[in-house]
Structure 1
């Protein structure tokens, strides 16, 4: 008992430490679990030598993974992306699997081992790719939709592989075709049965459970549903994962979906972590050290083949070259379902732990580079496509044109600005690094130049010496500063307008030479203020005067706000974050009777004094502070805390 408890504490402790470290490094937590398994397993420190017990428990992680996958599986979404899901998806899985199978057979591996390896390596990592796409806000982009569509089919294919693998692992089966047909027939009947239960019985059961208003009863019910579905399929001689997936898919259409998913997520994550730890125990470091060059070659080969195949398939479906190539880069890795197939193959004794360790090593290597690949996929796509795309070298601005506008960046903001400038008969040229956007805009007759707007030669080709205004339309303060310094060296007289997200870089951009800086968050606040005041029948002239005054004072009134629990310590530039904080002077406060100047508050300004229900903005430094005054302080967190101590206690 003591040894078991020690083992659990060591595994959980090492897993927590590894996951925190990998999160900080921006790497998938799956790799942290695999590393823990490697350390704890028979090839590491030898804390666990009997893998059978932990593998049986870890199988429940797969049950809950497939159950939650079924909850998230949306038939309407599947139909929306059907061209990619049922076009590129099946071809990618089949062709990748066949290519790997052929190579494995040529290398002398058995038919079954080659088939399992082909299936495992044909799948990409849904967990990593979807998380990265969501984090970058790229789910609804062209390459995000294509990637999601292929991943949807891969998830369906993984379920089918898990169902059929135990069947194919039976040696000496002379009736494989009939057994496969029987298994698929059972799966179909199971689907019909779960559909009937999920349509008419489960919703009523969950409604009755919900009426108890007991969280633990609802959680137990959700656990019971997943486990009963797994037990039924196991009893029928099918994969437990299939029943869990079908049950989740039926419940995914109900309004209990989100609550069930939230309740089961802790169990799923814990058991999945245990599963990946058990997979990590299959990796032999000595084997990796002896065959590291083959592992790296295999990882590079599968990523290159899969990436090019996905690009070709999407291109044949009519996707743009940039979208096709970027989708191929995003989906080029192997995925976590490969671990599931490997673990299942080892448990059925159709793959040795040594071969499984090699396959896991290849998969881990491809997954470890995936976050960096996705993050730089746009830059990599542009670099790869540039030699094949025609980029006009001549300046699209005639030397006779004077007083035009240069737009740095031609995204949505830049294009909208170009349209309005055209309606007011102002000539403009855009500079952008997106090759596909360049081709489409050039084909439409718009004046656009390819290049980095911070480079002197690019700005000169855009006619910076003769331009009247330059506008930075993207939200990248560091690049905007570089552009400002380059512009000032060429044409100090030109006015520059810069867009930013908030007031973080307002002062630095102004000092760098920006004539105006437009923080979009503050401008959105100003627009709401203007609409609200006009809906309250405030005269338009007064509203306009207020807006002009706020902009003239460089948004001083809008800077800083009262933060909640989640308070950032630094802004995007790495400077201490500034906030508003209210301090009321009680009867024993040291600052009572002193002027604001006498308080000598360091790095903090008093924005407002509220006294007797009245507020006084920007108070005079000679203003004397009184008891019950409420001071609105503005500054960095540490400075505000020090000022509060000084005002109240001395």
Structure 2
């Protein structure tokens, strides 16, 4: 067994050595490159010819379950690195999008997909499970693509991450509902689900409180020791410990790692930690993408090509339309909302967990479970290509909007008004002074969360980029003060 795992490690490292330089040369996403390699070396790729050509066995990964277990650490390290970049203050500002846009997306998408599943003859329980798990998108793939394309810090990146964070939090009640269906409990689910939410909230709160009390003194002590090995060991311990803590209470391990990153983001050790962890994250995340592609059974796709094709297209269309519509309601432009919708149109890694659990509890028929996992795997495989399309479509919509509406003003009734660029503390202070002096004013800001919150309070602020002359013209620049 040890020899087999060592062989798998050699195959993976060789694949990484090929994928990364070739992806850069061909200008394709490394995510797609890793998935193509995973498709080839997995049990449904070249393995089908291994009996005829024995030498092929040396190119295959033999222990797929072991690879998947290790690959999950890639997602854990990715979320940890994101936590290092996102401060608690910034996360607090995102709460409107996380619990508003994110929660609404899960509920609306789940109802639509669940209704379709029920219409195709699935039981109510199976339909609820399919709707819930297919409403979730792939945090690992979407976030990695946003980072690769330098879009994570953009408005689209903020909105997409807020939805993904809400989906990670939703895993707890979804798994609880699955276990309840498996136990054939017929009582109302409102109280048990509320209890699950409460336990999850308390667990997160405890981790944040204890972490803020212990982490900084711990890392200062390690820093005094001046031992790179000890520093690395304590960093890994912090990541794994918080991941295990959240996993124990039913949350995702990746969410725990994200919390650890948030806590360490406030310390002076942030950049040193980031440099140390980056290689682990990159390699393990590549292994995760390979493991996803290993589960795509090409023979099953060829056996039911029409239904697989329609299901993949249907999932992308439903999720993209729902997310786009909701994003517009929450203040995003058509270009931003469309890009978000396409980015979040795939199924996610948690679908494998939820469907696998439902299958083990005899809630889902094996044929249905296998079919849906193939659909999810294919949508994840296509996401790097869809991401390029999403950015291109968003750019075209934005360009068209600017060309057709350049002279159309948002507030044509204003004259001699002040245009405030940026609506942070300084911008809000300037707005307050304008209010006192009874000067009409309007503001632009790039932070979608801030804009949504302040507009709800009645502030005259809009989402937009003041560096674009077309946007300033729409704000009435020609007759501003």
Please, what TM-score do these two structures have when normalized by structure 1?
A: 0.53
SS in structure 2 opposite 1:338? coil
Partner of 1:520: none
Following superposition, the deviation at residue 13 of structure 1 comes to 1.3
CA offset at residue 234 of structure 1? 4.5
SS in 1 for 2:183: coil
Cα 1:445–1:33, aligned 2, differ >3 Å: closer, same or farther?
A: closer
Residue 176 of structure 2 is aligned to residue 167 of structure 1: yes
- 1:219-234 alignment, distance < 5 Å: 219-234=232-247
**CA-CA distance at 1:268 after TM superposition:** 2.5
1:331 match: secondary structure: helix
Q: Among 288, 293, 300, which residue is 1:275 paired with? A: 288
The aligned runs of 1:290-305 (5 Å cut-off) are 290-305=303-318
Match of 1:256 in 2: 269
Gaps of 5+ in 2: 48-59, 409-467
How far apart are 1:379 and its partner, in Å? 1.9
Match of 2:377 in 1: 360
Q: Is the 8 A contact 2:343 2:390 kept in 1?
A: no
Which has the larger displacement, 436-445 or 228-237?
436-445
Counterpart-to-counterpart distance in 1, 2:111 and 2:387: 24
Cα shift at 1:119 = 4.2
Question: 1: CA distance between counterparts of 2:344 and 2:267?
Answer: 32
> CA shift at 1:139, angstroms?
6.4
Q: CA deviation at 1:357?
A: 1.7
2:473 aligned with 1:441: yes
Corresponding position: 1:209 with 2:218: no
Q: CA deviation at 1:209?
A: 0.4
Comparing 339-348 and 186-195, the one that deviates more: 339-348
Residues 494-541 of structure 1: per-residue CA shift (max 9 Å, x gap): xxxxxxxxxxxxxxxxxxxxxxxxxxxxxxxxxxxxxxxxxxxxxxxx
Q: Tell me whether 1:346 sits opposite 2:347 in the alignment.
A: no
| In 2: Cα distance, 1:364 partner to 1:67 partner | 24
Does residue 332 of structure 2 align to residue 331 of structure 1? no
| Aligned-partner SS, 1:283 | coil
Alignment of 1:365-444 (within 5 A): 365-382=382-399, 441=473, 444=476
Task: Tell me the residue number matched to 1:288.
Answer: 301
Task: Output aligned runs, 1:555-566, within 5 Å.
Answer: none
Distance 1:25 1:136, change over 3 A: same
2:145 and 2:391 map into 1 onto residues whose CA distance is 7
Q: Which has the larger radius of gyration?
A: 1
Q: Does 1:266 align with 2:298?
A: no
Q: Secondary structure at the match of 2:33?
A: helix
**Residue-by-residue CA offset, 1:320-346 (whole Å, 9 max, x unaligned):** xxx223432343134788024325643
SS in 1 for 2:28: coil
Distance between the aligned counterparts of 2:123 and 2:270, measured in 1?
43
Point out which structure has higher relative CO (alpha carbons under 8 A, 6+ apart): 2
SS in 2 for 1:254: coil
SS for the counterpart of 2:348 is helix
Q: 1:442-463: CA deviations, max 9, x gaps?
A: 88596xxxxxxxxxxxxxxxxx
Instruction: Output aligned runs, 1:472-511, within 5 Å.
Output: none
| Structure 1 Cα separation of the partners of residues 249 and 284 of structure 2 | 24
Moved more, 128-137 or 50-59: 128-137
Cα offset, 1:258, TM superposition: 3.0
Q: Which residue number in structure 2 is paired with residue 9 of structure 1?
A: 10
Deviation at 1:245, TM superposition (A): 3.3
CA contact (8 A) 1:299 1:365 kept: no
Which structure 2 residues correspond to residues 75-90 of structure 1 after superposition, within 5 A?
A: 75-90=88-103
Alignment of structure 1 residues 635-650 onto 2, 5 Å:
none
Partner of 1:188: 201
Rounded to whole Å, the distance in 2 between the matches of 1:55 and 1:364 is 16
| Offset of residue 220 of structure 1 | 0.5
Aligned residue for 2:46, secondary structure, equals: coil
Would the alpha carbon gap of residues 328 and 90 (structure 1) be closer, same or farther in structure 2, given more than 3 Å must change?
Answer: farther
Superposition RMSD in Å: 3.8
- Supply the distance in 2 between the matched residues of 1:240 and 1:354 (Cα, whole angstroms): 27
Q: How many angstroms does 1:10 deviate by? A: 1.9
More strand by share: 1
Q: 2:204, 2:253 → 1: CA distance?
A: 13
Per the alignment, do residues 162 and 88 of structure 1 end up closer, same or farther by CA in structure 2, a change over 3 Å counting?
closer
CA contact (8 A) 1:230 1:240 kept: yes
Question: What is the alpha-carbon distance in structure 1 between the residues aligned to residue 399 and residue 312 of structure 2?
Answer: 24
| Counterpart secondary structure, 2:295 | coil
Q: Does the Cα contact within 8 Å between 1:311 and 1:325 map onto a contact in 2?
A: no
In structure 1, what is the Cα distance between the partners aligned to 2:139 and 2:246? Answer: 25
Change (3 A) 1:104 1:344: closer
| CA distance 1:87–1:165, shift in 2 (3 Å) | closer
For structure 1, the 5+ residue unaligned runs are 393-435, 447-650
Q: Matched residues in 2 for 1:281 and 1:62: separation?
A: 17
Does residue 1:154 correspond to 2:163, yes or no?
Answer: yes
Q: Check whether the contact 1:63–1:244 (CA below 8 A) recurs between aligned residues.
A: yes
1:357-406 CA-partner distances (Å, limit 9, x unpaired)? 222112322442212431453124545x69986999xxxxxxxxxxxxxx
Task: Identify if the C-alpha distance between structure 1 residues 238 and 153 changes in structure 2 by more than 3 Å, giving closer, same or farther.
Answer: closer
Corresponding residue for residue 39 of structure 1: 40
> Does the 8 Å contact 1:335/1:367 carry over to 2?
no
Q: Deviations over 1:581-617 (max 9, x none)?
A: xxxxxxxxxxxxxxxxxxxxxxxxxxxxxxxxxxxxx
